[in-house]
Amino acid sequence: MITKVKSSGYFGIESFSVDVEVDISKGLPAFNIVGLGDTAINESRERIKAGIRNSGYKLEPKRITVNLTPANIKKVGTHFDLPTAVGIMEGYGLIKSRKEILENYIFMGEVSLAGEVKRTQGIVNGAILAKENNCRGIVIPYDNLREGSLIKGIEIVAVKNLKEAVEFLENGNYKKYDVPEEKEIFNEEIDFYDVKGQEKAKRALEICAAGGHNLLMAGTPGSGKTMLAKRITTILPPMTDEEKIEVTKLYSISGKLSETNPVINKRPFRSPHHTSSSTAVIGGGKTPSLGEISLADKGVLFLDEIVEFKKDVLEALREPLEERKVSVTRAVYKAEFPADFIFIGACNPCKCGYAFEDGDLCTCSAGEISRYMKKLSGPILDRIDLKIEIKRLTEDELTGDMPRETSEEIRKRVIRAREIQKKRFGCEKLNGHMTRKDLEKFCRLDEETKAIMKTAVKNLNLSARSFDRVLKAARTISDLAGSRDIKKIHIMEALSYRISEFNI
């Protein structure tokens, strides 16, 4: 007799149904798992047998065959332990599960040698799949309870060990654990109030946060580029429930959730090192895995020392910056990952770093400066909305006590601007994501502002993409000001972020 237990798999970020079929037969004792499982699945045999024995059940020497169907799709993860253990105990006749439970619940969880059901990956994917397939619910490890509870409309059964799973299978009873309320966590040690001076950089980050724009900061070492970039998350609006589910799903299948961080409720800030490979940043590999740009989804991707990144890594950012997604194609698969993030790059203006400073601090020639900045190609620069130059603070700025805004004060303006955009587009869409039709409808210019833009196109050599990005930034600036129309002052400020002495 074959026992069938429902489970879930994932390929890239897409979920698919998996039936764990277990056959117990006479013959030479063996335990085989077939169906294109990875190393973690193949190594689960001893874990599962020990877990069943240490839960108080005796396994007689028999031939055990487990098939993960569909057998033509690669399966990864340790979450197949629980459905496999359930199928084996049912096949041996050690338990008598209710038929309606096996038919209407998905099982996911890793089994330890002691029979405990441990935290595993892909729980959000499984819960979403259960809801889409009209299942009654999903059985998951207790450690994944917060994660699974993000998905409403299905029953979440959390178990700590195999005995609790058996109790549910046989009687339909399970302990209903309380799910602690999730609250957004702020790092109080990081605040824009800590940053002295650099008002233009602060303003640029506010515009980026309000409209979802990309930013490049070029400045002297020690001028505060990294310090500024890290504080942008403190002025971004809280995540919506849909965003929490999407980002938690990505972190779940990547194995980056933990007991202390079971749900992603704060916008991600990813800052890969400049030695990172293209696969680490973009994603891919032998099996489709997420890169840093996808882990930054709904948050911020910060590339410090951007000119030191490998050329292939930077050029691979073209599609994500434009489309907010990335397609990874390999010989054996094609996968599409989300990549909806605010991009911030930071670099020095030259090799020594002091080209913006007065005096003779810079030791680089004009040719060396040009070659250094040309590491950033035109197509990449064209996709960046705002570009600013940052100099070291003056003595007065360092020692003075000028009034400074807190992150909370700036955040209130950002949230108001985003509310305007939500009313404008009727959805969670930002000015930085406007299409050509949106620009024609919401970025109409009067004769004076048209004349300014004509002059800018000629003098700044703006491409069609750059022209559109100026309009998008101007639209955000006007939203921050609470203005219905784009005025001269808004256009002029947007253009000021395209002008650069070193053509960055």
pLDDT at 211: 96
The neighbouring-strand residues paired with 22 are: 3, 66
- Measured torsion, CA atoms of residues 170, 172, 174, 179, in degrees rounded to the nearest 10: 140
pLDDT at 500: 65
174 membership: H or E segment, kind and range: none
Distance CA 159, CA 155 (A): 13
* The Cα angle at residue 485 between residues 483 and 486, in degrees rounded to 5: 100
Nearest to 8 by CA among 127, 93, 94: 127
pLDDT at 347: 93
64 membership: H or E segment, kind and range: strand 63-69
**Sign of the C-alpha dihedral, residues 92, 17, 146, 13?**
positive
Distance (Å) of CA 362 to CA 102, 303, 347, 388, 501: 72, 24, 15, 19, 15
Q: Residue 65, class by beta-carbon neighbours within 10 Å (0-12 exposed, 13-18 middle, 19+ buried)?
A: middle
pLDDT at 345: 96
Where along the chain do its domains lie? 2-171, 192-428
In degrees and rounded to multiples of 5, residue 502 shows phi and psi of: -110, 20
The CATH number assigned to the domain with range 192-428 reads 3.40.50.300
In degrees and rounded to multiples of 5, residue 466 shows phi and psi of: -65, -40
Q: Tell me the fold of 2-171.
A: Ribosomal Protein S5; domain 2 (3.30.230)
pLDDT at 187: 58
pLDDT at 153: 94
pLDDT at 502: 54
Contacts of 340 (CB under 8 A, 6+ apart): 297, 298, 324, 325
Query: What long-range pairs does 398-405 form, CB within 8 A, spacing at least 24?
Result: 398/196, 398/197, 400/196, 402/196, 402/197, 404/192, 404/193, 404/195, 404/196, 405/192, 405/193, 405/202
User: 267-308: per-residue pLDDT in tens?
Assistant: 999 999 999 999 999 999 888 899 999 999 999 999 999 999
pLDDT at 330: 85
Distance CA 60, CA 92 (A): 8
Contacts of 206 (CB under 8 A, 6+ apart): 235, 410, 413, 414, 480
10-residue mean pLDDT profile of the chain (504 residues): values are 94 94 94 95 96 96 96 94 97 95 97 97 96 97 95 96 97 88 63 90 96 95 92 95 95 91 93 95 90 97 95 94 92 90 95 86 88 88 93 83 90 97 91 94 94 92 92 97 95 89 55
pLDDT at 395: 82
DSSP sequence for 391-409: -PPPHHHHH-------HHH
pLDDT at 270: 97
Helix (H, G, I), strand (E, B), or coil: what is residue 330? coil
Bond from prior residue into 221 cis (ω within 30 degrees of 0): no
